[in-house]
Amino acid sequence: MTKMKLGVNIDHVATLRQARRGFEPDPVAAARCCEKAGADSIVAHLREDRRHIQDKDIRLLRKSVKTRLNLEMSLADPVVAAALSVRPDQATIVPERRAELTTEGGLDVVRHFRRVKNIAAALRKAGIGVSLFVDPVAAQIQKTFEAGIDTVELHTGRYAHASAREQVRRELDALKKMAAFARGLGMTVNAGHGLNYRNTRAVARIPGIEELNIGHAIIARAVFVGLEQAVREMVKIVNG
């Protein structure tokens, strides 16, 4: 069995820095620390409102990240232009609503099919791998495939937020079925959102998922134990 990978989302290192609009903590130094602790990729979301990660951050990350840089981005023209200019290893297309606290659901690729397809083609032409963040729903995965995109990231938010045991089981089952469905189409399957030190193990055991992308829980734990230790602990869970 191949090793499950961990992508660490460093957005909230930038959130803390932006609280004072200064220089610390530095997301580039954080990325280096995550890589040292065993992260397989560094994830950063260049939001349209630039509430945390800034354009300069992704330019610097592009130069310094030694593993893989996975840029989360919406379909907005200025963000697409930034991605084409910086050329991350991978672009993960996500939906974005201005007032949301975080990415609340997967992208509706059925609805935005033509635009997704065109932007994915432009990104690929620039040598950027493309992934789409979708809910674990067959129609969305099927349309992602039809848009010529070979990687999906399954949104684990409904699983992470479920509380009743039966609901947790149902959401985990949906993730398992949809991971198998996407693999059946020959796609690479990743997953993320809302995963933490308690609920990640069950997702890490789902056959066919290659990488989990985790941010908030790791940065939150880093406040108490340090970033390197927080990442090491999550690497252990992911590979448990």
- Given the rule CB under 6 A, which residues bind ligand PXP? 9, 11, 45, 72, 92, 94, 102-103, 133, 153, 192-195, 213-217
Helix (H) or strand (E) holding 216: helix 216-225
CA 121-6-141 angle, 5° bins: 40
Q: Answer yes or no: 112 catalytic.
A: no
Q: Among 35, 72, 171, 211, which one carries the catalytic annotation?
A: 72
Q: Answer yes or no: 193 catalytic.
A: yes
Q: Which amino acid, residue 177?
A: K
Which residue, 1 or 96, has its beta carbon nearer to ligand PXP? 96
Task: Return the structure tokens found at 167.
Answer: 């609901």
Nearest to 206 by CA among 1, 38, 40: 1
Q: How far is the CB of 62 from ligand PXP (least distance, A)?
A: 19
CA dihedral 140, 141, 146, 150 (to 10 degrees): 140
Instruction: Supply the DSSP symbol for 102.
Output: S
Burial 116-132 (b: 16+ CB within 10 A, else e): bbebbeebeeeebbbbb
Q: How far is the CB of 109 from ligand PXP (least distance, A)?
A: 14
Which residue, 1 or 16, has its beta carbon nearer to ligand PXP? 16
Q: How far is the CB of 205 from ligand PXP (least distance, A)?
A: 18
Q: Among 35, 96, 193, 211, which one carries the catalytic annotation?
A: 193
Question: In sequence order, what are the residues at sequence separation of 6 or more whose Cβ sits closer than 8 angstroms to the Cβ of residue 6?
Answer: 38, 39, 40, 41, 211, 212, 214, 231, 234, 235, 238
Q: Among 12, 45, 52, 155, which one carries the catalytic annotation?
A: 45
Which residue, 143 or 155, has its beta carbon nearer to ligand PXP? 155
Q: Report the C-alpha gap between 233 and 39 in whole angstroms.
A: 11
Q: How far is the CB of 94 from ligand PXP (least distance, A)?
A: 5
Which residue, 163 or 166, has its beta carbon nearer to ligand PXP? 163
Q: Report the C-alpha gap between 89 and 12 in whole angstroms.
A: 21
Q: How far is the CB of 181 from ligand PXP (least distance, A)?
A: 19
Q: Answer yes or no: 45 catalytic.
A: yes
Q: Report the C-alpha gap between 204 and 176 in whole angstroms.
A: 11
Which residue, 147 or 195, has its beta carbon nearer to ligand PXP? 195
Q: Name the residues annotated as catalytic.
A: 45, 72, 193
